[in-house]
């Protein structure tokens, strides 16, 4: 494709000069948007899988310590065991609590005697249970106990993920539209600038597709250059982000890495962009030529 | 093979520059096309190389009624026609070799054969040492030979030349005409628009005379009379 003989000196046209930049921007944004939505939906999926069918019960200690936190946890467990549809209810061990709290409060938060609530991990045996009724019964037995079913939170996370995805796709569509418009402009301008040569080629018996191929190869060359630049920049950005998130959020954030298959589909973005540009150039030229007498 | 019947032509909405032009060119014949500047010679050639549609009348090229041809059907016909333009129309960003190769590439010839074939023809017209030169570095006469080589490289059935001896001295002009004669002997129909009376007398081929858009057809060795 790069060995096409350029009968039309399209490389000299200044109109094509911005095309690689626009394609680079489009590819850059598209890769980031795609990677972002992959990470988000991966996260949402993992949360969904991990959390659906679980509850967390929070039992705060009373100010005067009577009854003791352990006793309150025991009564909460009693209520939970009496509730049908719950397969497992287990208080978090103090080492687990320490692990959870450590990033915020530092080592030894528990032993320092801070009034930390106890957490009970509850697994439901499937099907829906009446979370509100359970919360009421728990509150009656253990004043101050709270039920967190994660569902509301998970819904929020998914909504945000969808919104981010939509905005990202919108931006990619906008930039893609700009790239298509630029290709159309470059092609039309090229036809106008080189009208005499195009006529000469026709007089020599060149079919429209021969002329179109010249534009197509030219635009493809520009788009490939832009696509490579955009891909390199996006790869650098992703690498930087992954490293940064890896450094400060160890353990806190679910892991942000992508699978090899996902990386492969990101590499498809510049290919699609180049294809889009080349096809647009071809169609533009073919349509313009078809209107000639 | 080529037949014009009452053909008229105009540019856009302008006046008719050709009126009631009728003639027939048999395959393998050689014709001069003469007439004063502005008489319509270039316009008549444009009709013949299918760059322009007539405003009226019937044109038959290689057995096809031109008016009934679709756009997509024109390229194969055009490839049977070689044209030497008055201003050469060489592509200045391409070498002499690539300029001459153009009609072959347009026709989809294999790249392996193109170079060899083109280099051979350019050597034959005396440009063997200028294969990779750009037109701008060639003299007027050399450019003209590149233009002619480009017109004949595909061995067209019809060769149209618009004042091909205009910018060269008589000696080179004669050589070019001998080149056209060689081509004619191989079966190509030839139409040469020219002012050069000496050349016309000397070669004595049939001539078509245009005067203010009207055509008079004179057989071989006839003398031109003015059309009233
Ligand atoms: N592209 C054009 N647009 C409008 N008028 C033209 C064009 N080309 C030629 N003409 C007119 O057509 C007439 C014939 O011109 P042309 O065919 O070039 O004659 P010749 O080649 O015999 O000198 C002239 O009056 C000229 O002004
Ligand atoms: Mg002329």
Q: Computed from CA positions of residues B164, B167, B173, B176, in that sequence, does the dihedral angle turn out positive or negative? A: negative
Report the half-sphere exposure of B151 (CA within 13 A, side-chain side): 32
Average pLDDT, chain B: 90
Q: Whose CA is nearest to atom 1 of ligand 1?
A: B11
Ligand nearest to the CA of B39: 1
- As for the ipTM of the complex, it is 0.90
Q: Give residue B202's pLDDT.
A: 86
Report residue A107's pLDDT band, with 50, 70 and 90 as the boundaries: low
**Model pTM above 0.80:** no
**Closest chain A residue to the Cα of B82, Cα to Cα:** A204
Q: Do A210 and B106 touch (CB under 8 A)?
A: yes
Nearest-neighbour CA in chain B from A271: distance (Å):
28
Q: Whose CA is nearest to atom 16 of ligand 1?
A: B40
User: Any chain A CB within 8 A of the CB of B69?
Assistant: no
Give the separation between CA B95 and CA A213, rounded to whole angstroms.
Answer: 21
Report residue A50's pLDDT band, with 50, 70 and 90 as the boundaries: low
Average pLDDT of the residues in B159-170? 82
Q: Which of A7, A189, A193, A11 is nearest to B92 (CA)?
A: A7
Tens digit of pLDDT for each residue in B215-228?
Answer: 887 766 655 444 43
DSSP letter, residue A93:
P
Average pLDDT of the residues in A262-286? 93
Q: Give residue A253's pLDDT.
A: 46
Q: Give residue A112's pLDDT.
A: 60
B54 ligand 1 Cβ < 6 A = no
- CA-CA distances (angstroms) from residue A184 to A84, A288, B23, B59? 66, 10, 45, 37
Ligand nearest to the CA of B85: 2
Residue that wins the pLDDT comparison between B224 and A288: A288
Cα–ligand 2 centroid distance for B40 (angstroms): 7
Percent of chain A residues past pLDDT 90, beyond the cut: 32
Please list every residue in chain B whose beta carbon sits closer than 8 Å to the beta carbon of residue A205: 74-81, 103, 106-107
Report residue A68's pLDDT band, with 50, 70 and 90 as the boundaries: confident
Q: Which residues contact A213 (CB under 8 A, 6 or more apart)?
A: A4, A282
Average pLDDT of the residues in B25-29? 94
- CA-CA distances (angstroms) from residue B197 to B33, B175, B203, B205? 11, 16, 10, 12
Nearest-neighbour CA in chain A from B73: distance (Å):
9
B42 ligand 1 Cβ < 6 A = yes
Q: Computed from CA positions of residues A16, A20, A25, A30, in that sequence, does the dihedral angle turn out positive or negative? A: positive
Neighbours of ion ligand 2 (CB under 5 A): B 42
Q: Give residue B222's pLDDT.
A: 56
Tens digit of pLDDT for each residue in A215-225?
Answer: 999 999 999 99
- CA-CA distances (angstroms) from residue B162 to A53, B37, B42, B72, B169? 88, 12, 7, 26, 16
For residue B78, give the nearest of A204, A208, A290 by CB distance: A204
Cα–ligand 2 centroid distance for B209 (angstroms): 13
Tens digit of pLDDT for each residue in A192-217?
Answer: 999 999 999 999 999 999 999 999 99
User: Any chain B CB within 8 A of the CB of A291?
Assistant: no
Nearest-neighbour CA in chain B from A287: distance (Å):
13
Q: Computed from CA positions of residues A237, A242, A244, A245, in that sequence, does the dihedral angle turn out positive or negative? A: positive
Q: Do B75 and A205 touch (CB under 8 A)?
A: yes
B68 ligand 1 Cβ < 6 A = no
**Partner A, chain B 98-157, Cβ-Cβ below 8 Å:** 98, 101-103, 105-107
Q: Whose CA is nearest to atom 5 of ligand 1?
A: B11
Tens digit of pLDDT for each residue in B57-114?
Answer: 999 999 999 999 999 999 999 999 999 998 899 999 999 999 999 999 999 898 888 9
Domains of chain B: 1-80+157-220 (3.40.50.300), 94-155 (no CATH)
Residue that wins the pLDDT comparison between A287 and A114: A287
CB B6 within 8 A of CB B56: yes
């Amino acid at each position: 494709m790069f060995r096409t003989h350029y009968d039309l000196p399209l490389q000299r046209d200044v109109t094509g000069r911005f095309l690689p930049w626009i394609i680079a921007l489009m590819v850059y944004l598209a890769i980031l948007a795609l990677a972002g939505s992959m990470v988000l939906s991966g996260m949402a999926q993992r949360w969904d899988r991990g959390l659906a069918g679980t509850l967390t019960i929070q039992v705060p200690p009373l100010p005067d310590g009577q009854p003791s936190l352990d006793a309150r946890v025991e009564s909460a467990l009693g209520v939970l065991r009496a509730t049908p549809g719950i397969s497992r209810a287990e208080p978090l061990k103090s080492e687990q609590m320490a692990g959870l709290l450590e990033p915020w409060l530092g080592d030894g938060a528990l032993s320092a005697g801070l009034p930390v609530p106890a957490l009970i991990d509850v697994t439901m045996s499937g099907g829906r249970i009446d979370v509100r009724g359970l919360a009421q019964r728990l509150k009656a037995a253990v004043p101050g106990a709270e039920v967190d079913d994660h569902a509301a939170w998970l819904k929020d996370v998914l909504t945000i993920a969808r919104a981010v995805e939509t905005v990202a796709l919108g931006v990619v569509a906008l930039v893609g539209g700009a790239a298509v418009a630029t290709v159309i402009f470059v092609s039309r301008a090229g036809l106008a600038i080189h009208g005499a040569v195009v006529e000469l080629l026709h007089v020599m018996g060149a079919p429209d597709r021969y002329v179109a191929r010249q534009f197509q190869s030219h635009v493809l060359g520009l788009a490939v250059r832009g696509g490579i630049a955009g891909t390199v920049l996006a790869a650098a950005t992703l690498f930087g982000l992954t490293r940064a998130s890896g450094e400060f959020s160890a353990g806190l954030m679910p892991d942000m890495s992508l699978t090899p298959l996902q990386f492969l589909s990101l590499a498809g973005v510049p290919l699609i962009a180049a294809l889009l540009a080349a096809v647009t150039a071809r169609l533009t030229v073919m349509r313009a030529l078809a209107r000639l007498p | 093979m080529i037949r014009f019947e009452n053909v008229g032509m105009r540019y856009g909405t302008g006046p008719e520059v050709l009126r009631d032009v009728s003639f027939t060119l048999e395959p393998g014949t050689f014709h001069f096309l003469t007439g004063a500047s502005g008489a319509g010679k270039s316009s008549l050639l444009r009709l013949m190389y299918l760059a322009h549609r007539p405003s009226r009348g019937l044109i038959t090229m290689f057995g096809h009624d031109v008016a009934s041809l679709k756009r997509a059907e024109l390229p194969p016909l055009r490839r049977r026609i070689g044209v030497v333009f008055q201003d050469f129309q060489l592509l200045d960003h391409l070498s002499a070799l690539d300029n001459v190769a153009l009609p072959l590439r347009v026709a989809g010839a294999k790249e392996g054969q193109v170079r060899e074939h083109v280099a051979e023809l350019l050597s034959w017209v005396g440009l063997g040492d200028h294969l990779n030169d750009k037109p701008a570095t060639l003299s007027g006469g050399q450019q003209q030979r590149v233009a002619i080589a480009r017109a004949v490289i595909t061995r067209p059935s019809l060769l149209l030349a618009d004042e091909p001896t205009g910018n060269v001295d008589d000696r080179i002009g004669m050589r070019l005409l001998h080149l056209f004669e060689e081509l004619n002997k191989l079966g190509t129909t030839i139409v040469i628009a020219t002012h050069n009376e000496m050349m016309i007398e000397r070669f004595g081929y049939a001539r078509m005379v245009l005067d203010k858009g009207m055509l008079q057809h004179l057989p071989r060795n006839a003398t031109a009379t003015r059309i009233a």
